[in-house]
Structure formats: structure tokens, C-alpha cells
Structure 1
Amino acid sequence: MAAARPTGSRSGALCRQLLLTLTILTFASDACKNVTLHVPSKLDAEKFIGRVNLKECFKSANLIHSSDPDFQILEDGSVYTTNAILLSSGKRSFTISLSNTENQEEKKIFVLLEHQTKVLKKRHSKEKVLRRGKRRWAPIPCSMLENSLGPFPLFLQQVQSDTAQNYTIYYSIKGPGVDLEPKNLFYVERDTGNLYCTRAVDREQYESFEIVAFATTPDGYTPELPLPMVIKIEDENDNHPIFTETTYIFTVSENCRVGSTVGQVCATDKDEPDTMHTRLKYTIIEQLPASPTLFSMHPKTGVITTTSSQLDREFIDKYQLKIKVQDMDGQHFGLYTTSTCIINIGDVNDNLPTFTRSSYVTSVEENTIDVEILRVTVEDKDLVNTANWRANYTILKGNENGNFKIVTDPKTNEGVLCVVKPLNYEERKQVILQIGAVNEAPYSRDASSRSAMSTATVTVSVKNQDEGPECSPSVQTVRISENAPVGTTSSGYKAYDPETRSSSDIRYKKLNDPKGWVTIDENSGSIKVFRSLDREAEFIKNGIYNITVVASDRVGRSCTGTLGIILEDVNDNGPAITKPTVTICKPVMSAAEIVAVDPDEPRHGPPFDFSLETSDSEVRRMWRLTKINDTAARLSYQNDPPFGQYVVPVKVSDRLGQSKVTSLTVTLCNCITENDCTYRVGPRVGGGEVKLGKWAILAILLGIALLFCILFTLICGASRTATQPKVFPDDLAQQNLIVSNTEAPGDDKVCSTNAFTTHTVGTSAQGICGTAGSGVRHGGQETIEMVKGGQQTLESCQGAGHHHTLDPCRGGHVEVDNCRYNYSEWHSFTQPRLGEESIRGHTLIKN
């Protein structure tokens, strides 16, 4: 029988229906066919409730979305619940969005869920629809207390269906606690629907049971859907809180601040969370030693902190706490458990190492090193064999000369005092040291470094020892002028007896004298010049010549010292030009810089004076010197001299007039940079005349002689048959003239005789002779010039100084002048010399 609904319910239903209609109209433009699903009023999570035909709405959808998170839509249109849902109003709706991400097209399906009002009853293959207005077949909250004492079976509730008014209904249940483990815990009376529990249940083992109730008729009809039921087991405070560890061990540093965290304890309780049964409270029950109270515990977190800054490891290094945890927020009726907490006090460096004695006395023999003379000890209350306990020793005073050092013995922590530099009894008979000790770790208390250090004094007595001579200072010097004559004497080296401070009975001898320049007097140590001294010698550095001297006493004890002879400079060297050869690339350069160096001291050196040291006016006309600074000058050419090598004598004088002449070899070359110059012919002297060796001159003369013999024969033979002068025969024009001054094939210059020009004078040809001279190659041309001086040369009939050139590569020509010599004179001149010099001709180029 259906009861009349209140007016408010009707109004609410109308409002919801209106809202659903507006929603449907809103999506009418892009929505598909609406779908209505009939479902029960209560829907479990992850349950299938129906299927929607998505393809009918949108075939190309690749993204499906539900507007209600309580529902999930699969690709085939299946609708599942994601959470448990109760249709309190009987209806619920949501929208399914279908979209294609490629073309941004979207459609929507409106889904309406309605409470199912029709119940189908199956009998064989026939269906019968039962209609009723009111039913009582819904989940009823049910619970029982864990560990119940009964009596059993214990009634829990009654399951009843409204269809029992019209049918005979049998009730049954299935699920955990019935036909699943733990089996036979619950049962229901078939006819009444009364639900019973057969025994006690532990909530910590089973928090709840989800069973399903069924209502059927005797002949198998199922007028009701299966009814899910949850039986909750109510918690009872039957579990003690348990600490996670039976014993906690923490460490906290001594002298830490108040409120420093020591550690945290933790406990668990199996009872139901977020209830009084699991609300825990931590407390400290007891502290050993009991006084003073140094620790506290937070009641809710279990964090242990310090309440005092007076923790002292050297007084008590460990504390033990008895702690308790109790549920019911610490109420007296709550369950509790105890545990033990051990707190170790960590060491800090709050104690200084202290010497066991304030003063020490020891002794050591002079001249001994690397010996241990004393051990000192300290006391430290800090933890042994830690950086807070280990000591570092230092010498504060008395070790200005570095004779001592003190180190720590790592095994005993003692300070070991050693002598590392020999002591001298004659200088100091007693040394007083102040030593100090600190720890490896810094001192934790506020104090200056001096007040935080323990100190002690050590008196060291130096014992006398019979010693040999002492070379002190080990390096001694004397001054001797470098031009001092042989036999000059000087004071030399002196050693002495450290006890008597006397130099008597000491003998000297040289141990090392690199050049043997001096001798040494055996008794006095004075030296005498044995050979000339030279301050500018190659091995002399900074003007000091060192010799090694050995001084010995009567019993053979000795010492070694060094005598440095300071050679006083004498202006005995003129400044010399460092680079005697220079190259001037004529197209791009007009001058070259020359630099002079004087090996003497600066007072005998710059400023330098540069000048041309020659009386040859041709040299002075061609070259010019211009001073650049105190040590350099610029050499420049004038009057456009031809390419070649020149020798220019340059005189350089220092400030006191000491001078030196350097013959500079200057190459005028057709180049851009000096590396491009490949000129190789010998240099010209002074103003440009060529200077060659005698063998080169002879080879040139022989070559020219042969050439003129051929020319003389041709011309003279032609003059006998003709009355008029004739030029060279035509067939001679096809011959080659090779000029070479080398033994090897060399660079042959081939020129046609068409490039030659010959001159004959008079009708009676007495012979033609060419000018003889030396050849100089530069820039690819051969030059034949006169050589002055009459060294086995033939002078031109035109007079000295007349030049004849052969330039086959630049289209030059040979000028043949008339000569007063006939063939017999030429023959008598050349024949004796041909036989004499032909053997040596192949070596001429080397000269």
C-alpha cells in the first residue's frame, strides 16, 4: 500500500522535472536521442546498469566523457557505476559527450536514470508483472560488538520483503560468514528472516561482512532482487598500544641547549583508528639517575627533548628512561605498555689538555740533530682516542732559530721534543722553550686561543763538544780587478776554531777551481792570481768567479766554504754588432737596423757612437749611418746601388771611447721579406766592386780566353778574303753561348747570337778581344765587369773602369771593343796559365 506523498515532495519532483526538461532543451542543438535507464534505488560501485547505443549518435567519436564522475562509459556504450549511489529522489541524470579530436566535432547524449518500479517474476518461460505501491526490501544498517559474550546465537535483525503479504516468502543469505570463510558465522531463519550470529567475532580480524539476502517463493519465484547487506563489527578496546621497539637508544651532546631533540618513540594500536581506543599518550615514568630531571616527552608525538643545559658526559655519560604509552588519551582505565629508553651523552671538547708538570729540564750535545730529548704528558677528561682528547703540541717561544720541533706520539698522546737543527755551545749554552697543547678539535667554550691553551716551560742545556774548524760564513768574497797582473794577492778565505775564535793552526787548500786562475796559501788562506782574469769569460755569471776551499785542523777535522772572487770590470771590450749580416729588400726597404752590445758593465757601455770605418769615398757615398738610440743605428743606402752583397765596415765606440770595427755583410736583394732573398754570390767590397778568389778569377779568364779565341779565328779568317769588314757569319747566329762558373750543370743561360753586337775598327783586323773580369750573378743575370788591381787580368783598351755586361735573360748584349793586342800576344799570355790552373778549375766555386 502506497502512502500519500507530502506536498513538499510533489513540489520538489516538479522542480527536478523542470530542470531535466531545461537540460534536454539546452543540448537539443547538438544532442542525440535521449536515453532512459531503469535502475534500482541503490547502486553499488562498479556495477553494470545498462547500455547506450553510441554509434547511432556519433560513429566517428574517439573521445567519450561522462559529465558525472559517478558513472563510467565504455567504448561499447556500457554504463558502469564508479561509486555506490542512492537515488533518494528516484531520478538522476548525466550527459555523455562524444567528440572527434581531429575535426573538433562534438555530440551529446542525455541519460536519465529512473527508479525501477516493475518487478519481473519468472515461472518457467512465462513472465508475470507484479505491481505494488510500497515495499520493504532495502539495506538495513546492522552491527554487532566484537568479542560479544552472547548468548549465542545472537539476534542481529530481521530481513523482510513486502511481497510476503501476497506470497509465501523464504529467506536465505550467502557470502563471507555464511558459505565463505569464516563459514557458519551467520544464518537466517527461512520463514521469519531473522538474522543470527553464532559466535564472537574479532574486529581486528574482520571489520565487516558483506552478505547478500534473497527472498524467494516456495516454487522458486524471485519477487525481489538480491539484497546486499553489510554487518559492521563494532570495536572494543581490547588491544594494548605497543612500542615499535623494546629498547630505544639515543645520543645527545653534552652541554646542548635546552629544548634540544633527543629522539622520538612510537607506538601502534590495532583498535579502530580515529577513536578513543587508539588515541595514545606518551609519558616518562622514571629517570635513572633520578636527579636532576633532564628530559621531557611530548604526550602526543613521543618526542624526547632536554630540559636542562647541564648535561656533562664527564659526570654522567648515560641516562635510562622508563616510558609509557596509554590509549584512551591517557585515562586511568586505558590500556598501556612500557618500554626502556637509553640516552647516551655525546662528548664535546669542553676540557683542555693540561700538562702534568709546569716545567721540564733536559740537555743535548751541540752539533747533534734528529734526536729525541724530552717527552711531556697531558691529562684530558674528554673521551679517549677522539679528536677531543688527542693533543697537538706547539713551541710558543724560544725556537726562533728553528732548532727544535715537538710532535705527538699517536699511541700515548705524549709530546716528543726533538732537535732538528744543531745547537752551538759557543753561541748559546742554554735555551728556554715555552710549549703549549691544544686538542685536535676546537675548544667548545668561549675563550681566546691563549687562555684556552695549557702551557709549560722546558729548559734545554747545551753540552760542549770538541769541534773542528768552522767555515762561517760559508760564502766569503774578495774583489780583484780583471786586468790584475799575474801574481796579485788578496785576503782569500778565513775559517776559525769555534771554541777559541782563532784561525791559527788551520790549513787551507782548493777543492775546486774551474779555470785554475788562482792559487791559495796553505797557512793563511790568501789567494794569488795565477792566470789572467777575464770578467767577460763565457762561464762567468754576474761577474763572480767561485772557488771551493777546504779548511782543516791538526786532527783532520774540516769544513768547506766558497770563495767568490768579484771581478771588477775594466773597459777592455769594445761594443760589437750582434748580427754581422743584414738583408735589405730593396723594393720595400731602404735601410736596416743594427744593434751593438758591450760585454763590459753599463758604466763602460752605452751610449754608443756608430761610424763608417773606411777612407773609401765610394763607400761613404753609397752608405749612411743614422743613430736610433744608445745601442742601435740605422744603415741606409744612397744613390740606388745595384742588387748584390756589400761589405760595410762599421765602427762602434762606447762612452769612454773603447771601440771595435765590425765588417757588416749587407745584401741588397729584390725581395719582399728577407726569407724571400736567395742571393748567393760573394760580397762586394766597399762601394760595389767585386772581390773574388784567385781560382774563380782564373776560371773566368780561361772561359773568356776560349771565347775570344773562337771569335778571333772567325773574324781574322774572314778578313783575308774580303777587303771590307764583315760581321759574324750567319751560321754563328744559331750557336749557343753558355756562361757558367760552376762545376755542376748549374743554371745554363742560352742566348742567340742575334742578341750580340760587334764592332770592328779599320780595314786590317788585328784581332778582337773582349773585356775580362769576374762575373756576379744577381736577380738571374750574368755581369762581366773589370777587376782593378791587375791580378792576372786583361784591361780594356777603352780604359779602366769601363764595364761590359752579358745579360742573356733580359735581352742584354756583349760589347766588344777594339784592342791593340794581336793573336800572338794573346796566345803567349794565356797558354802558360792554362796548363798551370786547369787542374784546379773544378774547385773554383768553393772559393
Structure 2
Amino acid sequence: MAPAAPRLVLGLLVLSLCCDACKKVIFLVPSALEAGTLVGRVNLNECLQSAELISSSDGNFKVLEDGSVYTTSAVSLSDEERTFTIVLKDIQEHVEKKIQVSLVTDEKKTQAQKTRQARDTVLKRTKRRWGPIPSVMMENSLGPFPLQIQQVQSDTAQNYTIYYSASGPGIDQDPKGLFYIERETGNIFATRAVDREQYPSFQIICFASTPDGYSPEVPLVHTIRIEDDNDNAPYFTQEVFEFCVPENSKPGVIVGTVTAEDRDEPLTLHTLLRYRIVSQNPPIIPAFSLHGETGVISVLSPQLDRELVSTYTLLIEVRDMGGQPFGLCTTGTAIIKIEDTNDNAPTFKQIQYETQVEENRVNVEILRVSVVDLDELGAPGSTAVYEIIRGNDDRSFEITTDRNTNEGILCVVKGLDYEGAKQRILVIAVNNEAPYMLAPHSQQVVQSTSTVIVNVLDVDEGPVFKPCFFRMDASECDEVGTSIGKYLAEDPETGNSEGICYKIAPGQCNWINIDEKSGEVRTIRALDRDLGEMKRGQCNITVLAIDRNGKTGTGTLQVVIQPCNRNFPRILKTDYIMCRDRKPICLTAEDGDISSYSMPFVYRVTDRNLASSWKITRHNEKSVYLSPRGDIPFGIYTIPVTVSDKSGKQGVTQITVNYCNCVIPSECERMSYASSSVTLGVWAILAMILGSLLLLLILITICGCCGSGVMRRHVTDDCANHNLIISNTEAPGEEVMDHNIIPLQNTADQVGCGIKTGDQQTFEMVKGRGHTLESVRGGGHQTLGSVKEGGGGQPVMDTCRYSYSEWHNFTHPRLGEKVHLCRQDEEQKHSEDYLLTYNYEGKGSLAGSVGCCSDQHEEEALDFLDQLEPKFRTLAETCVKR
């Protein structure tokens, strides 16, 4: 505190001009203030007594709890006033109040103040008494009280009257009234004993001030330390310490650590603890050691055997003062459990057992065996695992462990045969689930075994099929009643099949039967792998065998139908038409047998005479081509063709070929139809006449609408368009013939045409002249110009258009031939777009046909076929065969 003396010598004159609570406070101060200079004191309690937070708005000034205001750094004041605010807050009540502080410089100080400042400046001290060393008070002191523990004095007491006061914990804060300071002397007293563990130290603030309120000293923070007394004994952190350690552990293995604490002052003798083992239960050779400083327990004895001692109890002491006898001590308990290890092998209670069981019994318990194991019951080291090590080659027995009793349960899992063996001898061994962990210097563990004698009891048994599952093969070609084998059973007692009857259980396949006495299996139906329940080609039959005593045995018979070559190849299509292009005919045969008995097929012409005229060419394994060897006349030929399968089974099929002078096969069919005679009845002829008259009347009426004259009418090209009637037909038929459309034929005078006769003629009249499609098909190559006359002998002028018959007789055979030739692909297959015949549209029409091909290089130019009018294009699109 020595540096504060010069600052105090400045002769601060502190004057509180306004001491009213929460009002402005004015301090008269020098113009220069050093850091740590007391500016004055404000009565905070009168403003807000419950203030919890005290702060200053100016960081150059700090405010203490008693209201003293100090500078935190050097401050220079000008002639103007400097102000800041002290903020008081009560957090719980949410109350905040402010005190405004103004600092004013006054160069005209009173003479007394100047004199006081001068004295303080001249005064010299060599030792400060305002900052004594911290006070010490013994814990649990016996007094007498009040007990003086320290005195504080201000050096300025030599010049002024100084009063002392203090605040802080132990004075005006909890624990209140423990200390107080004398106002005149500065002596600090304690009023009662103190517990250091509750209050290790106190920090109080001491104040020195003159009667007029001047504070020549900075408030002193004084520490009162309570000196520790060894009044607390150490204590363990747990009431009982529990540890585990495996048996047969080596010396030095750490078991665990015990810990204790002491409430006395740390790092003193009062808290310097030492541990030791007081006693061990059971009181045999010491098994554990305890480290005195750390409290670590470790194994001492090399012979920890759980089977001898399973638990140790240690009484442990902890003492302070470094373990000195005068130190305080406490005892605790440590329980150490010895964990089991598998150091004992199980042993059978009996070395031999004997039991019995009836033959053919399955999944039945026949014996229980037990063992003795010194290891902990229920632990993996004592759980027994049994196994049959000898006498169970056929896996007829099985042994398991009963978890509740640790016994071995011996069961029969496969029926025993008395006739095969009347007695079985088994050797059973036992082990543990956990591996063995032998104690040091112990002998090797020997596996314990026991012998079990099983006597098999004889029982009257039913017949037994040998084998119990038997397969027989039957052929598709077998006839009804064919024997396919025998399925026999034996009597286990006699070893033969005498007196055994056989039956097939109901609901089995109905195409097999078994003889009741002989066991012979026969077919009772024709076998067909593709028929009904035979489709899969096999069935499993349960066969019953019954002996004289009514005992029944069962066996399974699997009958499999093997395929055979029961079908010969057949050619399905036998009638063909061959046109003059002599395109080969494709013959295809079918065989109902599987592939191994069918393809490849071999074809040949059976008749030698026809074989010289017709040849067969292979196409693939299934098909061949039939074609003539040279020029043969038109006609119908019946050719016998033999087809053989892979295994040589063959059949003959008669193939009929109509070799026709046609372009397409359908044309040959029409020729055949036209050549056939048709006889009409009287009513049919009458109906046709009436229909023709009615149609003629309608056509004359329509034609009358197209012209302007009465006797002489001109039929223009547009009139032909009215002969087409829109229909709801959405697609053409298979073939459009010219006689299905009856157009109007007018041979009267037309525009640009002059004919000698003025009569009007219909299409029916023209047809009556003999110019039909059929009459001109075989007429050879002729030009349209060569047809000069109609059937009636009337000449036709060269300047006029040709009649429908003349045009049709010339164009139809040529267009058909050209279409047939030009619409073939590389394989000589016809396109679907053949020549389609339409009705005559009148001489005024520019379009003679709407077919897909045109004979444009003939004498008559037919370029107009490429420039059809819209209605004719619609007709062409509708009638084209798709």
C-alpha cells in the first residue's frame, strides 16, 4: 500500500454536497487523479438496500459494496464537470436504480484543506500498518471469547481521528456475528469457534475514515484463514467392497482397489492415509496382500481353489497421520469371490448301464446317465456334453443333455431289428462345455466313459418291402395286361413272402394293377403319355402287403411310362393345285411321337411310273418339295408318297395334284366352277327376268336424267360416276369378280362418237353377244384393235371408244399374266395384290380399270389409270385385296 501514500498526500477534499438517496452526488476533486485514488463514498443502502449488482457507467471508476468510489486508471479533469452513473440492480425483485455522480474541480480550497494536504505531503513513513498479513485462527479453538485475532491501523491516525469499520462474511454476511472490529482501535475479534471443513477462510473489507467522512485509506481486503485441526477420521467410499478373481490365479494378479477419503485439509498429515489388512476369513494361509499407500489388493497365494474356498472376507483398516498410532482410523470390509474355472473333469457315477427296447420303436427314451463334477453347478465348467464314441455306426441312437439335471438322455432314433441284432453295446463319453484350465502342476485330465448294453426285444412285425421304394418301367406300346414286373414283401420273422397278400391303396393310378398273391404288376389300360393322368409319364403307387396275422407293411412303387414309336408320319394336306409356272409343292408331315422317334423324315414316291415323272427334293428334317421332272400334260395326278421316321416306321399318303393351265391357283378354281353345269328352276328364271327388268327400268331413268333430249340422249363421262353407290362395307371380300358389279352400258351416240344405229343397249345385251371374261381367257395374244365387231355383228367405228366387252377381252388376260409375273418375289411366292376386276364404268369414263398393274406398252395407251378421279381412287383403295 506504500504507493498510495503520495496519492493521498494530494490532499483530496471530498465533499458530498447531496446525500439524498438516488439523487445526484457531487465530489470536489483535483484536476488530476492517479489510479487507485479514492474519489468519495456514496450511501448505497439509502438508495437500494437489496442491491445485488453494482456497476459504473464509466470504466475509469469502480464502486465497492460499501459505496466507495475509486479510480481504475489515471484521470485528468478539465474545468468542466465530469459525470457518470452508478447502477444498482436487484435481480430477484427486478428493481434497478441509478445514482448520478458529478466530479467538479475546485482550485479555491479551504485553508484547512490546504494545510491538511501539506501535512500529508510532508509526513514520511517507513512502514505501513494498514496492510497486515492474513490472520490465522485455530479450528475448534477453545477461546476465551471474544478472541482477538488481528489489529489493523491506519498511518494517518497520527494526524487525524480515525474510525474503523468492516463488512463481509462473518460480520454482516453469513455466518453473521462471527467477527467484529473495534471502532477506535481496529482490533478484530472472533466471538466463537469455527469449523474449517465448513468455512476454510474469510475475506472481510476494512475501512478507515475521519469523523467528517473523509477516507484517507483505500478499503483493505483482509483474509482470515482457519487452521486445520485433525478432527475427522478417514472413511471408506463404499460400505462393502466386492471383487472377483479366477481360481488358480498366479501371485501378483490384481484383485481390486479399496479407496478412502478424509475431510481434513488436503496435503497434510491429517489426510495422509495408510491401509492394512486386519484379518482374513477363513483364517487359513493368507491369500491376498494389500498395498498400504494405494489400497490395491493382489493375489498372494498360488493355490486359490474354488472347490476348497469359494469366498474370502477381508477386514481392512485405513488410518491418517501416515499410519501413525495417534492417527484417526476406520475399518471396512472387502469380499473376494473366487470364480470357477473348469479344472475338474466330470465322471460317470456308474461305469456300466443295461437297458432294453422293443424293435422298431423310434424316438423313445431308453436310459438316463448321470455324472459327478466338482466345478460350480450350472456353469459352463460343469455342464456335461455326452457323446457315443462306439457302437452307433448306423446312427440308431442319440444322446442329449438335460439342462435341469445335467443328465444324459439316451434315445432310439432309428428302429432296431431283432432279427438283425438282439443286443447292442454302446460306449458313452462325457466332457464339459468350457475347455479345461488345469491348476499348476496338476495331472492331465482323463475322459470318463461308461458302457451301455441295449437288449432288443422281439415284436411280431408286419411285412417289409425290399426295397421300400422300387421303380418299374412300362412302354407306351405295351398292350393291355402286359406284365411289367413284381413287387414283393418279406416277413421279417420268416424271411420269405409266403402268405402275404398285395393291394394298391385307393386313389392311386387307375392304369396299373397288382396281383394279390404273386405281387405281379400289370397294365389294365392302353398307355399313352399324352392322355389325362398319364401326361407326366409316371405315378407313385402305395402298395400294401398284409400277412396272415393282419400285420400290414407299405412300400412305394414308381411306374414310369417310357415312350415308343407308336405313330408313323402323316402328311396332313393332300390336295394341291400347280399352275403352269410349275412352282414346287411343299409337303409337310406330322408325327405324334417324341423327337427321338420322329424326325428327320424320309419321303419317296411309291409308284415307280409316277416316280419317273415326279421328284422329291429335301427342304428340312420335316418338309420336302414335290415337283415334275419334265414337261407333263395338264391334268389331275394322284401320287402315293411314303414317309418314314427316324426308327423306320412308315406310312403312305395319297397326294392329289391338279396341274392346271392357270396363272394363280384361284383362277384354276374359278375355271372349274365355270365349267360345271348349273340348272335353274322356273321360279329362279322368272325372278332373274323380273330383277333384270326392274334394274333396266332404274338404269334408263338414271340415264334419262343425264341428258337433255327425249329420243337422243348424250351420256357424258360424268354419268359413269353416278353408277357408284357408297356402301358401309368396310373391307372387300376374298375376290371381286366382274359379274358382282352391274354397270350401265350405253351404246347410243355419245359426244365424239358416231354409231349407225341410234338404239340404246345395256350391258346385258352386250354380254349376250358372247364377249365374256371366260370366253376370251384362252384366246391367245390379240390386240384390242383386232376386235372390230360385237357379238351381234354391228361394226364399231375406229374413232369411237371401244365397248366394255372389247376392252375387257383384250386387257384382262394380259393384265392378269403380267401381274402374276411381276408380283413374285425371289422365292416365287405371289404377292397378295393380284388383279382385281371391277364393273364397266361407261364409255365416257377415262378409267377402264383400277388394278395395281397397267399394260401401258400395249396398243391402247392407258396413262389415264395413273390420273384417276377421287371417287375412282376411293373405289380402288376399297376393293384392293389386303
Q: What range describes the TM-score normalised by the shorter chain of this pair?
A: 0.5 to 0.7
- Shifted more, 479-488 versus 490-499: the winner is 479-488
- Find the counterpart in structure 2 of residue 156 from structure 1: 149
**Alpha-carbon spacing, 1:377–1:717, altered in 2? closer, same or farther (3 Å):** closer
- Find the counterpart in structure 2 of residue 473 from structure 1: 467
> Does 1:317 find its partner at 2:310?
yes
Question: Deviation per CA, 1:727-746, whole angstroms, max 9, x where unpaired?
Answer: 99974531336799999999
Equivalent residues in 2 for 1:116-131, closer than 5 Å = 129=117, 130-131=120-121
Shift of 1:241: 0.9
2:287–2:299 Cα contact (<8 Å) kept? yes
Question: Deviation per CA, 1:139-159, whole angstroms, max 9, x where unpaired?
Answer: 432212223344554443331
- Find the counterpart in structure 2 of residue 243 from structure 1: 236
- Find the counterpart in structure 1 of residue 646 from structure 2: 655
Question: Deviation per CA, 1:261-293, whole angstroms, max 9, x where unpaired?
Answer: 433222111111222322222332332234433
Q: Which SS does the other structure have where 1:805 is aligned?
A: coil
1:157–1:196 Cα contact (<8 Å) kept? yes
Shift of 1:369: 2.4
CA distance in 2, matches of 1:384, 1:731: 122
1:248 partner amino acid: F
- Find the counterpart in structure 2 of residue 24 from structure 1: none
CA distance in 2, matches of 1:219, 1:189: 19
1:436 partner amino acid: A
- Shifted more, 232-241 versus 126-135: the winner is 126-135
**Alpha-carbon spacing, 1:717–1:417, altered in 2? closer, same or farther (3 Å):** closer
CA distance in 1, matches of 2:248, 2:359: 50
**Alpha-carbon spacing, 1:422–1:255, altered in 2? closer, same or farther (3 Å):** same
**Alpha-carbon spacing, 1:158–1:530, altered in 2? closer, same or farther (3 Å):** closer
2:567–2:591 Cα contact (<8 Å) kept? no
Shift of 1:754: 9.4
- Find the counterpart in structure 1 of residue 487 from structure 2: 493
> Does 1:557 find its partner at 2:551?
yes
> Does 1:266 find its partner at 2:264?
no
- Find the counterpart in structure 2 of residue 389 from structure 1: 382
836, 840, 863: which one pairs with 1:805? 836
1:545–1:564 Cα contact (<8 Å) kept? yes
- Find the counterpart in structure 2 of residue 359 from structure 1: 352
CA distance in 1, matches of 2:497, 2:514: 16
> Does 1:39 find its partner at 2:27?
no
Shift of 1:336: 2.0
Shift of 1:505: 1.0
- Shifted more, 72-81 versus 218-227: the winner is 72-81
**Alpha-carbon spacing, 1:490–1:625, altered in 2? closer, same or farther (3 Å):** closer
CA distance in 1, matches of 2:438, 2:240: 34
Shift of 1:377: 0.8
CA distance in 1, matches of 2:447, 2:531: 61
**Alpha-carbon spacing, 1:710–1:755, altered in 2? closer, same or farther (3 Å):** closer
**Alpha-carbon spacing, 1:747–1:550, altered in 2? closer, same or farther (3 Å):** same
Shift of 1:425: 0.8
Question: Deviation per CA, 1:549-602, whole angstroms, max 9, x where unpaired?
Answer: 221112221212233344454322457999xxxxxxxxxxxxx9x999974474
**Alpha-carbon spacing, 1:81–1:526, altered in 2? closer, same or farther (3 Å):** farther
1:550–1:561 Cα contact (<8 Å) kept? yes
2:494 partner amino acid: T
Q: Which SS does the other structure have where 2:263 is aligned?
A: coil
**Alpha-carbon spacing, 1:274–1:742, altered in 2? closer, same or farther (3 Å):** same
- Find the counterpart in structure 2 of residue 410 from structure 1: 403
2:316–2:331 Cα contact (<8 Å) kept? yes
Question: Deviation per CA, 1:156-184, whole angstroms, max 9, x where unpaired?
Answer: 33311111211233434343334444444
1:186 partner amino acid: F
CA distance in 1, matches of 2:535, 2:488: 24
- Find the counterpart in structure 1 of residue 420 from structure 2: 427
1:139–1:227 Cα contact (<8 Å) kept? no
1:412 partner amino acid: T
CA distance in 2, matches of 1:763, 1:799: 19
1:159–1:194 Cα contact (<8 Å) kept? yes
Question: Deviation per CA, 1:100-130, whole angstroms, max 9, x where unpaired?
Answer: xxxxxxxxxxxxxxxxxx9x9x99x989645
- Find the counterpart in structure 1 of residue 721 from structure 2: 733
CA distance in 1, matches of 2:773, 2:725: 14
> Does 1:286 find its partner at 2:274?
no
Q: Which SS does the other structure have where 2:518 is aligned?
A: coil
1:313 partner amino acid: R
CA distance in 2, matches of 1:813, 1:711: 31
Shift of 1:364: 0.5
1:518–1:530 Cα contact (<8 Å) kept? yes
- Find the counterpart in structure 1 of residue 857 from structure 2: none
Shift of 1:501: 0.6
CA distance in 2, matches of 1:439, 1:806: 104
Q: Which SS does the other structure have where 2:156 is aligned?
A: helix
Equivalent residues in 2 for 1:416-565, closer than 5 Å = 416-444=409-437, 454-512=448-506, 514=508, 516-535=510-529, 537=531, 539-540=533-534, 543-565=537-559
CA distance in 2, matches of 1:810, 1:206: 135
2:552 partner amino acid: S
1:712–1:768 Cα contact (<8 Å) kept? no
1:571 partner amino acid: N
Q: Which has the larger radius of gyration?
A: 2
**Alpha-carbon spacing, 1:278–1:716, altered in 2? closer, same or farther (3 Å):** closer
Shift of 1:726: 11
2:723–2:744 Cα contact (<8 Å) kept? no
CA distance in 1, matches of 2:501, 2:235: 97
5+ residue gaps, structure 1:
6-34, 49-71, 83-89, 94-117, 579-591, 636-648, 664-684, 773-795, 816-847
Shift of 1:713: 6.6
Shift of 1:428: 2.0
1:213 partner amino acid: C
**Alpha-carbon spacing, 1:386–1:566, altered in 2? closer, same or farther (3 Å):** same
**Alpha-carbon spacing, 1:75–1:365, altered in 2? closer, same or farther (3 Å):** farther
Shift of 1:497: 0.9
1:419 partner amino acid: V
- Find the counterpart in structure 1 of residue 218 from structure 2: 225
Q: Which SS does the other structure have where 1:437 is aligned?
A: strand
2:565–2:593 Cα contact (<8 Å) kept? no
Question: Deviation per CA, 1:752-807, whole angstroms, max 9, x where unpaired?
Answer: 999999998998944776669xxxxxxxxxxxxxxxxxxxxxxx999999996247
Q: Which SS does the other structure have where 1:39 is aligned?
A: coil
Equivalent residues in 2 for 1:322-401, closer than 5 Å = 322-401=315-394
CA distance in 2, matches of 1:348, 1:245: 29
Q: Which SS does the other structure have where 1:423 is aligned?
A: coil
1:233 partner amino acid: I
2:699–2:744 Cα contact (<8 Å) kept? no
Equivalent residues in 2 for 1:12-31, closer than 5 Å = none
CA distance in 1, matches of 2:743, 2:604: 46
1:294–1:307 Cα contact (<8 Å) kept? yes
**Alpha-carbon spacing, 1:652–1:243, altered in 2? closer, same or farther (3 Å):** farther
- Find the counterpart in structure 2 of residue 643 from structure 1: none
Shift of 1:339: 0.9
2:146–2:192 Cα contact (<8 Å) kept? yes
**Alpha-carbon spacing, 1:73–1:184, altered in 2? closer, same or farther (3 Å):** closer
**Alpha-carbon spacing, 1:481–1:202, altered in 2? closer, same or farther (3 Å):** closer
- Shifted more, 147-156 versus 523-532: the winner is 147-156
1:740–1:747 Cα contact (<8 Å) kept? no
Equivalent residues in 2 for 1:650-799, closer than 5 Å = 654-658=645-649, 714=696, 731=719, 733-736=721-724, 765-766=768-769
CA distance in 2, matches of 1:478, 1:220: 133
Shift of 1:500: 1.0
2:319–2:329 Cα contact (<8 Å) kept? yes
Identify, as 1 or 2, the structure richer in strand: 1
- TM-score under structure 2 length normalisation: 0.58
Shift of 1:516: 3.7
CA distance in 2, matches of 1:577, 1:441: 81
1:314 partner amino acid: E
**How many equivalent residue pairs?**
634
